[in-house]
């Protein structure tokens, strides 16, 4: 299930969010044993929130240490003033990415890394 609210996002925000979805869904498929996964995207004047949650068992190691993928996402989000939370949630696991409604000077490249164009996330 995918839920979305708010206006169209510009390309730099979509690239970063797409990178997060790819990594998050890969983790669900590889590690969770989930039967259901939900992706939601909410945005307002101040921030954009992307949540990927599932009903699986989470990480086999109990989530003790994030893998390279989550570390990379954390770094990409931090480069634009965002955050990443990952861990047990309800009866499963959740990845929650939050980014500001405006990127700092730099934008992002195709891999969601900081680049050179500033602009609002809302169209």
pLDDT of residue 119: 42
pLDDT of residue 52: 94
Q: What is the pLDDT of residues 1-26, one digit of tens each?
A: 666 666 666 677 788 999 999 999 98
**Domains of the chain, earliest start first:** 2-102 (3.30.565.10)
- Find tokens 């634009």 and name the residue: 80
Q: What is the total residue count of the chain?
A: 123
- Mean pLDDT of the chain, nearest integer: 76
Q: What is the mean pLDDT of residues 43-67?
A: 75
Q: What percent of the chain has pLDDT over 90?
A: 28
- DSSP letters for 51-108: EEEESS---TTTT-S--HHHHHHHHHHHHTT-EEEEEEETTEEEEEEEEESEEPTT-B
């Amino acid at each position: 299930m995918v839920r979305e609210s708010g206006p169209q996002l510009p390309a730099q925000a979509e690239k970063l969010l797409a990178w997060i979805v790819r990594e998050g869904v890969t983790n669900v498929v590889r590690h969770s044993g989930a039967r259901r996964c939900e992706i939601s995207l909410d945005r307002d004047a101040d921030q954009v929130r992307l949540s990927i949650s599932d009903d699986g068992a989470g990480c086999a190691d109990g989530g003790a240490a994030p893998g390279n993928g989550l570390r990379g996402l954390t770094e990409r989000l931090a480069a634009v003033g965002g955050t990443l939370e990952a861990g047990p949630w309800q009866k499963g696991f959740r990845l929650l990415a939050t980014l500001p409604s405006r990127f700092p000077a730099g934008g992002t490249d195709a891999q969601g890394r900081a680049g050179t164009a500033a602009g609002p996330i809302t169209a």
